[in-house]
Structure formats: structure tokens, C-alpha cells
């Protein structure tokens, strides 16, 4: 008996052994991250990544996720997503540490001292704001903070996207109401961010994961339907594939032809619940990957149109006119065997890599010295324009504008200098004006669209070249509000009209007070100059004279009582 350990010591010893074994398993989980990083950067040092892991593991030690697994597994999985996308060492360090400031006692100052400013800025950019302090505004203000950080370093968004992707993968362990909220928020804001940054590889998976949460029955039905039709669809489309391969060979063009299966959400958007109408061409896109330069894509296009009949008006040239999210390709629609209509996408292999990984591919190239400029190839003007006025925006206004700017169905309008301005379908010159900035929008009086005079309410077509006409004396109007379609334009016009209404009310109220004082043989201006009016306004609870005068116009302050106070005030 005397050799027995005190109560609890054996349990603690067993727990220590378990934790050591667990930590060893966690460390082994880091190996795929290190291998992926070394594959993307053969000369990279792995010690900085290990150091970040060790700090994160220590900070999160003892924490568990809803699944019961050690919390450190989440940052490891987030980092693996980014490593496989080819992100640099600093980004991987920040990904491993991304939850430490928010969920542990590790402080930002400590992190900065341990890992430097670059990693600290990235971690701070993705750290949520305290919900107990910000309340219902926490979500919007966190997004505002993230967007501000992303304007300085886009890697913040990539970490956030990887974080959300892994959270979506593990949503099954969350209660139903939280699953719905996270999936809906992802659809509204984060998936559009992925598309805007050209991250289609992430976007497709996030699309389908959100689909499975928000519409589980529809997701299951279309998943079953596609699985049942995939093999037969490939057989039916195989003759078209073989004919196209032969046509490419006739052109002496080296290219790979792939039947690319579409993801579930994309098919659902096309066919909805009408699964009985599902055709093989709904399941697949014909993807042509050309071994060559841009001009070889046009040769491949000729081969496509030689082997199959093109559908008039359905050619889209995103090589000559790239989309604003790095995407470049040729799209065409053709009629294949049996009258089947098929969509064909033609890209070089480099275009394909960019189409799948977007910004991540560019960051990888820059880090390896293969490309000098990332931001110059990405349209971030929409982000800069949003940030130009966001400091004065309410949380709700900011989110509404952000959702509008991230719509996936945008058209491209152009300045006369060639700058692309993404706008929603149905947008007008007044929307274009406010997209250029509040000052231009506030003073707009008309536009030249493709060189012709057009009113501010005219509808803009894709590819329109727009020059906004302004006048210093012009001001936003109710007509401009009716013409505006974008959240940003409508918010800024409403804000200006509200301010103008307040100014008008104050002017009317002041005139009422001046007339009443004049009837009593006194001058309002004299009382204002001597500080009498300001003293009375302060006693009534108004910080500004205009606020008091506006209250008079609204009837909130009795005119006779105010005149009595003004005439008896000792100031």
C-alpha cells in the first residue's frame, strides 16, 4: 500500500502519456504541409514553419474542437490548403497562428516579437473582433477590418478563405442553426471573394459544401442524378471528344481534351429541380488545354468550330479582354452529335493554372521571382473605391455595399483610359460615376457612352466606354437616386440627400426664429454673434445651432418659448 501513488497521480501520469502521444501525432500531421511547401519551393527552409507550429500547438494545447479532436488540427489543415496552393512561408506561418490571438492567451505583441511584423499583420487581419464588445456589429466590423487589412496585403483574404473552407468541411459537428448561418454568410461574402480573386478551385468546393447545408435535399438529389448519369454521359460525348482530338491533330496542335465534370451547385443553378431534363452536356464542359501560347488558343478554336457547329453569338474572348479576376480563356458553344449543345473552354496550361488558383498562383510566381507584379494584374480598384468612403459607413451599409460589389454576374464598363469598372447588369452612368468616387458621382450631370451623349439613367451594356460629365454646381438628386442601381451609389446619394434635407430644415427653422425675433425688435445675427443663441442651444441639449433650428422647423422646439429664452438670456 505504501508504494501506491496518491489519488489522482496515476490519472495525471496517464494523461501526460496520452498528451505526449497526441502531440507526436499532431506533429506528424504537419508533415503533409512541409512536403507541399517543399514541392512548391524546393529551396525553402522548413524551420520557420515548424517554429510557428510549435508556438501554435503550445498556445492551443488542451483545446478541443466540436469534433473532439485537438484544436491544433484545424490550423494545420488550413495551412495545408494554402501550402498545396503554393503560398509562401510567411503565409503558412500566419495560417498556423491565425487563431492564437483570438482564442488563446498569446498576444499580438508576443507574436510580433516571435515572428516579426509581416506575420503579425497577417494574423491580425484575420482575427475576429470581440463579439461581447461589438455585439450585433461584430460580423460587419470584422469584415471591414479584414478588407482594410487585405487592401494592404491580399494574403489576409487567402488565409480567411482557407480557414472558412476547412470550417465548411467540418460543419457537421456544429448545431443546425450555426451551420445555416456560416453557410449563408459564406455564400454571400466569402465565396464571391474567392471568385473575385480567381480562386475557382476553392470556390467550387465551397459552393457545394454550402449547397449541402442550405439545401440538403436538392443537393442529395442532384448528387445522385449526376452519379447515375456520369458514365453514360461520357460514352455519349466520347465521339465529340475523339473528333475534336483529330481536328487538333490536323492543325498540328498539341493539346489535351478533357470532359470536365461540373460541380453540383453549378448544375443545380442551370436545371434546378428539373432533373428529368438533365443531359450529358449539362454534366460536362469540354476543356481544351493547349500546349503553347495565346495565339494557339485561337488555332484550337478554329479546330473546335471545324469539328462541331458553333452556336452564333456564343463566343466569349476572355484572352483579348480578360475578366477582372485574372481569368483568361476562350468560351464557345457548339452543337455536337445528335444535336447536343455543348460548352467548350479553351486555355493554355498556364491560363488553366491561373483559372484554378488565381491570386495564389500569382503570389507563388512572385515569391519565386517569375513575375514582378501581382497587384497590377488584379483589379482591386473596387476595393479601393469601397474603402475610400467606408469609414463613414454604418456596419449595415458597409456589408450591403460589399455584397453588391461582389456579385458574380457583373458586366465590364470602361473609362476612356481603359480602366475596367465592374458593374451589375442594368447599371447606369450614375452607378459608373460613383464607382469612380463620391466626388465624381456627387457632381455628375450626364455621360458620353461610346462617344454619344447619354443621360445618367441610361442602361449600360457590357463593354461600354463611359466618360462622366460633371459640373461644380451639380448635387445629388432624387432623380439620381431613382437612376442608381448599385448599393454604393444609392447609399451615397441617400446620405447626401439626408444631409441636404437637414441643411434645408435648419435654414427654414433659422428663418422662423429670425422673423419672430424681428417682430420683437431684435436681430438673430446679433444674438448669434454675442453667443446668446449658442448658450440657449446648449441648455436645450443641442451641440450645434443648426440642430436647434432644425428642431424648430420640425416642431420639436416651441418657437415662442425659444424666442422668450433668447430675449431673456443674460449671455
Residues tagged active-site: 102-103
Residue identified by cell 482530338 is: 245
Taking a C-beta distance cutoff of 8 angstroms, is the pair 260, 287 a contact?
Answer: yes
Task: Supply angle C-alpha 133, 139, 140, rounded to 5.
Answer: 105
Q: How far apart are CA 29 and CA 37, in angstroms?
A: 14
Contact between 466 and 460 under an 8 Å Cβ cutoff? The reply is: yes
Q: What is the largest CA-CA distance in the chain?
A: 107
CB neighbours of 258 closer than 8 A, spacing ≥ 6? 286, 287, 288, 289
Helix, strand, or coil here: 85? coil
Read off the DSSP letter of residue 189.
I
Residues facing residue 341 across a β-bridge:
335
Q: Which long-range contacts (CB under 8 A, 24 or more apart) does 226-229 make?
A: 226/261, 226/264, 226/267, 226/278, 226/283, 229/278, 229/280, 229/283
Q: How far apart are CA 416 and CA 466, in angstroms?
A: 6
Which cell goes with 227? 452519379
Residue 346 cell numbers, joined = 479553351
What does the DSSP 8-state code read for residue 515? H
- According to DSSP, residue 570 is labeled -
Separation between Cα atoms, residue 407 and residue 188, nearest integer Å: 9
Amino acid at each position: 500500500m505504501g508504494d501506491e501513488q496518491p489519488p489522482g497521480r496515476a490519472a495525471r501520469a496517464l494523461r501526460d502519456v496520452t498528451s505526449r502521444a497526441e502531440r507526436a501525432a499532431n506533429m506528424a500531421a504537419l508533415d503533409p504541409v512541409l512536403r507541399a511547401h517543399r514541392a512548391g519551393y524546393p529551396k525553402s527552409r522548413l524551420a520557420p514553419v515548424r517554429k510557428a507550429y510549435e508556438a501554435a500547438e503550445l498556445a492551443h494545447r488542451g483545446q478541443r474542437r466540436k469534433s473532439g479532436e485537438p484544436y491544433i488540427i484545424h490550423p494545420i489543415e488550413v495551412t495545408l490548403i494554402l501550402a498545396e496552393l503554393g503560398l509562401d512561408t510567411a503565409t503558412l506561418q500566419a495560417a498556423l497562428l491565425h487563431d492564437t490571438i483570438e482564442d488563446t492567451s498569446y498576444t499580438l505583441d508576443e507574436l510580433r516579437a516571435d515572428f516579426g511584423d509581416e506575420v503579425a499583420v497577417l494574423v491580425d487581419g484575420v482575427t475576429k473582433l470581440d463579439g461581447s464588445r461589438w455585439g450585433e456589429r461584430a460580423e460587419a466590423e470584422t469584415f471591414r477590418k479584414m478588407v482594410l487589412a487585405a487592401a494592404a496585403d491580399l494574403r489576409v483574404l487567402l488565409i480567411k478563405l482557407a480557414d472558412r473552407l476547412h470550417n465548411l468541411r467540418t460543419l457537421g459537428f456544429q448545431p443546425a442553426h450555426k451551420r445555416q448561418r456560416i453557410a449563408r454568410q459564406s455564400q454571400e461574402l466569402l465565396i464571391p471573394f474567392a471568385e473575385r480573386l480567381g480562386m475557382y478551385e476553392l470556390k467550387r468546393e465551397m459552393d457545394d459544401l454550402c449547397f449541402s447545408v442550405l439545401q440538403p435535399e436538392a443537393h442529395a438529389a442532384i448528387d445522385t442524378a449526376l452519379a447515375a448519369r456520369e458514365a453514360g454521359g461520357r460514352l455519349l460525348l466520347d465521339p465529340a471528344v475523339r473528333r475534336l482530338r483529330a481536328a487538333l491533330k490536323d492543325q498540328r496542335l498539341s493539346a489535351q481534351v478533357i470532359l470536365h465534370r461540373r460541380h453540383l451547385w453549378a448544375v443545380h443553378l442551370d436545371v434546378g429541380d428539373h432533373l428529368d431534363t438533365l443531359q450529358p452536356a449539362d454534366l460536362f464542359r469540354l476543356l481544351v488545354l493547349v500546349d503553347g501560347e495565346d495565339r494557339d488558343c485561337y488555332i484550337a478554336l478554329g479546330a473546335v468550330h471545324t469539328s462541331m457547329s458553333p452556336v452564333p453569338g456564343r463566343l466569349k474572348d476572355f484572352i483579348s479582354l480578360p475578366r477582372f479576376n485574372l481569368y483568361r480563356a476562350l468560351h464557345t458553344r457548339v452543337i455536337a452529335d445528335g444535336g447536343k449543345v455543348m460548352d467548350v473552354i479553351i486555355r493554355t496550361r498556364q491560363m488553366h493554372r491561373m483559372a484554378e488558383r488565381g491570386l495564389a498562383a500569382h503570389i507563388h510566381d512572385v515569391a519565386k521571382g517569375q513575375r514582378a507584379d501581382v497587384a497590377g494584374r488584379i483589379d482591386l480598384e473596387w476595393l479601393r473605391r469601397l474603402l475610400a468612403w467606408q469609414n463613414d459607413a454604418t456596419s449595415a451599409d458597409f456589408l450591403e455595399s460589399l455584397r453588391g460589389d461582389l456579385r458574380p454576374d457583373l458586366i465590364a464598363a470602361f473609362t476612356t483610359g481603359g480602366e475596367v469598372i465592374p458593374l451589375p447588369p442594368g447599371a447606369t452612368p450614375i452607378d459608373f460615376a460613383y464607382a469612380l468616387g463620391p466626388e465624381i458621382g456627387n457632381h455628375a450631370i450626364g455621360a458620353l457612352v461610346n462617344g454619344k451623349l447619354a443621360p445618367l439613367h441610361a442602361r449600360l451594356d457590357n463593354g461600354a466606354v463611359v466618360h462622366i460629365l460633371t459640373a461644380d454646381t451639380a448635387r445629388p438628386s432624387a432623380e439620381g437616386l431613382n437612376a442608381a442601381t448599385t448599393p454604393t451609389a444609392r447609399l451615397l446619394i441617400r446620405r447626401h440627400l439626408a444631409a441636404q434635407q437637414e441643411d434645408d430644415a435648419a435654414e427654414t427653422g433659422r428663418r422662423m426664429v429670425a422673423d419672430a425675433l424681428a417682430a420683437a425688435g431684435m436681430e438673430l445675427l446679433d444674438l448669434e454673434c454675442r453667443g446668446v443663441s449658442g448658450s440657449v442651444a446648449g441648455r436645450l441639449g443641442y451641440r450645434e445651432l443648426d440642430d436647434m433650428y432644425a428642431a424648430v422647423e420640425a416642431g420639436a422646439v416651441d418657437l415662442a418659448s425659444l424666442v422668450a429664452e433668447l430675449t431673456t438670456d443674460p449671455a
